[in-house]
Amino acid sequence: MKKKLILPLLIALIISIGAITYLKENNTLTASEFYERINVHDVQLVDIRTPEEYRTGHIKKAINIDFYSESFVESFADFNPEKPLYIYCKAGSRSMNARTMLEQKDFKYVYDLKGGITAWKEAGYEIVTEDTNVSK
Protein backbone atom coordinates (compact mmCIF):
# COMPACT_ATOMS: atom_id res chain seq x y z
CA MET A 1 0.00 0.00 0.00
CA LYS A 2 2.80 2.43 0.88
CA LYS A 3 4.47 1.82 -2.50
CA LYS A 4 1.27 2.84 -4.29
CA LEU A 5 1.20 6.17 -2.43
CA ILE A 6 4.83 7.09 -3.00
CA LEU A 7 4.65 7.48 -6.79
CA PRO A 8 1.63 9.83 -6.83
CA LEU A 9 3.14 11.91 -4.02
CA LEU A 10 6.45 12.11 -5.85
CA ILE A 11 4.71 13.20 -9.05
CA ALA A 12 2.70 15.84 -7.16
CA LEU A 13 5.90 17.17 -5.56
CA ILE A 14 7.68 17.43 -8.91
CA ILE A 15 4.70 19.23 -10.45
CA SER A 16 4.52 21.65 -7.50
CA ILE A 17 8.22 22.49 -7.70
CA GLY A 18 7.90 23.03 -11.44
CA ALA A 19 4.89 25.33 -10.99
CA ILE A 20 6.66 27.43 -8.35
CA THR A 21 9.76 27.73 -10.54
CA TYR A 22 7.62 28.69 -13.54
CA LEU A 23 5.80 31.40 -11.60
CA LYS A 24 9.03 32.86 -10.20
CA GLU A 25 10.74 32.83 -13.59
CA ASN A 26 7.76 34.61 -15.15
CA ASN A 27 8.50 37.60 -12.91
CA THR A 28 11.81 38.03 -14.72
CA LEU A 29 11.04 39.80 -17.99
CA THR A 30 13.05 40.22 -21.17
CA ALA A 31 13.85 43.76 -22.29
CA SER A 32 10.98 43.74 -24.79
CA GLU A 33 8.47 42.42 -22.23
CA PHE A 34 9.68 44.96 -19.68
CA TYR A 35 9.42 47.79 -22.24
CA GLU A 36 5.88 46.82 -23.21
CA ARG A 37 4.66 46.61 -19.66
CA ILE A 38 6.16 49.83 -18.34
CA ASN A 39 4.87 51.76 -21.34
CA VAL A 40 1.33 50.36 -21.33
CA HIS A 41 0.51 50.10 -17.64
CA ASP A 42 0.62 52.54 -14.75
CA VAL A 43 3.57 51.11 -12.83
CA GLN A 44 6.15 51.89 -10.19
CA LEU A 45 9.58 51.84 -11.86
CA VAL A 46 12.75 51.66 -9.78
CA ASP A 47 16.42 51.54 -10.73
CA ILE A 48 18.15 49.83 -7.82
CA ARG A 49 21.72 50.59 -8.85
CA THR A 50 23.93 53.01 -6.97
CA PRO A 51 23.34 56.75 -7.53
CA GLU A 52 26.59 56.87 -9.52
CA GLU A 53 25.40 54.07 -11.82
CA TYR A 54 21.99 55.71 -12.15
CA ARG A 55 23.55 58.98 -13.32
CA THR A 56 25.33 57.20 -16.19
CA GLY A 57 21.92 56.50 -17.74
CA HIS A 58 18.62 54.98 -16.68
CA ILE A 59 15.16 54.17 -18.00
CA LYS A 60 12.97 57.25 -18.30
CA LYS A 61 10.73 57.87 -15.27
CA ALA A 62 12.69 55.41 -13.10
CA ILE A 63 13.44 56.53 -9.60
CA ASN A 64 16.65 55.45 -7.91
CA ILE A 65 16.77 53.45 -4.69
CA ASP A 66 20.23 52.09 -3.95
CA PHE A 67 20.14 48.34 -3.32
CA TYR A 68 23.21 48.66 -1.11
CA SER A 69 21.57 51.22 1.17
CA GLU A 70 21.00 50.06 4.75
CA SER A 71 17.40 51.20 4.43
CA PHE A 72 16.74 49.65 1.03
CA VAL A 73 13.52 47.78 1.86
CA GLU A 74 12.28 50.59 4.11
CA SER A 75 12.63 52.97 1.14
CA PHE A 76 9.61 51.27 -0.40
CA ALA A 77 7.30 52.16 2.52
CA ASP A 78 5.42 54.76 0.46
CA PHE A 79 4.97 52.44 -2.50
CA ASN A 80 1.65 50.70 -3.15
CA PRO A 81 2.18 46.94 -2.60
CA GLU A 82 -0.91 46.21 -4.73
CA LYS A 83 0.40 48.10 -7.78
CA PRO A 84 2.93 46.50 -10.17
CA LEU A 85 6.53 47.27 -9.24
CA TYR A 86 9.21 47.01 -11.92
CA ILE A 87 12.84 46.97 -10.83
CA TYR A 88 16.16 46.67 -12.58
CA CYS A 89 19.89 46.86 -11.93
CA LYS A 90 22.97 46.55 -14.14
CA ALA A 91 22.86 42.87 -15.09
CA GLY A 92 19.96 41.29 -13.20
CA SER A 93 21.45 39.81 -10.01
CA ARG A 94 20.57 42.61 -7.61
CA SER A 95 17.06 42.93 -9.00
CA MET A 96 16.41 39.20 -8.58
CA ASN A 97 17.48 39.43 -4.94
CA ALA A 98 15.50 42.63 -4.43
CA ARG A 99 12.40 41.06 -5.96
CA THR A 100 12.55 38.26 -3.40
CA MET A 101 13.02 40.74 -0.54
CA LEU A 102 10.09 42.89 -1.68
CA GLU A 103 7.81 39.89 -2.21
CA GLN A 104 8.53 38.93 1.40
CA LYS A 105 7.33 42.43 2.37
CA ASP A 106 3.94 41.70 0.74
CA PHE A 107 4.47 43.34 -2.64
CA LYS A 108 2.14 41.34 -4.86
CA TYR A 109 3.46 42.12 -8.35
CA VAL A 110 7.23 42.58 -8.55
CA TYR A 111 8.98 42.17 -11.90
CA ASP A 112 12.67 42.43 -12.69
CA LEU A 113 14.50 43.03 -15.95
CA LYS A 114 16.44 40.00 -17.16
CA GLY A 115 19.98 41.14 -17.91
CA GLY A 116 19.33 44.53 -16.31
CA ILE A 117 19.96 47.83 -18.02
CA THR A 118 22.73 46.13 -20.00
CA ALA A 119 20.10 44.04 -21.81
CA TRP A 120 17.90 47.13 -22.15
CA LYS A 121 20.67 49.02 -23.95
CA GLU A 122 21.57 46.02 -26.11
CA ALA A 123 17.91 45.85 -27.23
CA GLY A 124 18.22 49.47 -28.38
CA TYR A 125 15.83 51.03 -25.88
CA GLU A 126 16.28 54.62 -24.75
CA ILE A 127 18.12 55.67 -21.62
CA VAL A 128 18.20 59.15 -20.10
CA THR A 129 20.75 60.87 -17.89
CA GLU A 130 18.86 63.46 -15.85
CA ASP A 131 19.24 62.65 -12.18
CA THR A 132 16.22 64.27 -10.56
CA ASN A 133 15.03 61.03 -8.97
CA VAL A 134 18.20 59.91 -7.21
CA SER A 135 17.88 58.52 -3.69
CA LYS A 136 19.75 60.20 -0.88
Domains of the chain: 28-122 (3.40.250.10)
Q: Is 70 helix (H, G, I), strand (E, B) or coil?
A: coil
Q: Is the pLDDT of residue 15 over 50?
A: yes
Catalytic positions: 89
Closest to 59 (Cα-Cα) out of 49, 73, 68? 49
The residues that bridge with 128 in the sheet, in sequence order, are: 58
How would you classify the pairing of strands 63-64 and 85-88? unpaired
Q: What is the pTM of this model?
A: 0.78
Q: Give 27's pLDDT tier (boundaries 50, 70, 90).
A: very high
Distance CA 13, CA 100 (A): 22
CA–CA distance from 2 to each of 13, 14, 21, 23, 116 (Å)?
16, 19, 29, 32, 48
pLDDT averaged over every residue in the chain: 86
**Is the torsion defined by CA of 132, 66, 97, 31 positive or negative?**
positive
Distance CA 78, CA 90 (A): 24
Share of the chain above pLDDT 90, in %: 73
